[in-house]
Amino acid sequence: MQDATVERILARFNDLENNPDETIAPYLEFSVDGKLYYFTPGGFLYRRESGTEAVEGFFCGYVTDEVWHYRTDNHYYTDDESVGEEPARRSWWRRLFGCFR
């Protein structure tokens, strides 16, 4: 049985129509309902036990390749890795955590 929090996270990111501006950054941890989550490259969602320094976590689910590429292909960096222009409307991730790569 899947965790209700995980279901909400995945449903939000998989809903491209109603949440078009959400972005995903690999390994950027975020807290939902007191638990730490992060996506790895490819769109795999993991939960990390709070209070641990361990890199590995518990696999929770994944977003499709289409969603992963849509959510991560909005690059704010040019090919030479210098900072590029951000769009006028930033996602809640970028508003909350600032511009992460």
Q: Which residues contact 43 (CB under 8 A, 6 or more apart)?
A: 24, 62, 63, 64, 65, 67, 68, 71
Q: Tell me the torsion sign for CA atoms 17, 23, 26, 29.
A: negative
Query: Are the C-beta atoms of residues 76 and 84 closer than 8 Å to each other?
Result: yes
Task: Kindly report the pTM of this predicted structure.
Answer: 0.67
Residue 74 confidence class, pLDDT cut points 50, 70, 90 = low
| Other CB atoms within 10 A of residue 12 CB | 13
Residue 7 has pLDDT above 80, yes or no: yes
Residue ranges per domain, the chain? 4-97
Structure tokens at 59: 């696999």
pLDDT at 56: 72
Lowest mean pLDDT among 33-47, 51-65, 74-88: 74-88
CA distances from 16 to 39, 51, 68, 77 (A): 17, 33, 11, 23
The residue-averaged pLDDT of 58-77 equals 82
Nearest Cα residue to 28 out of 19, 36, 17, 20: 36
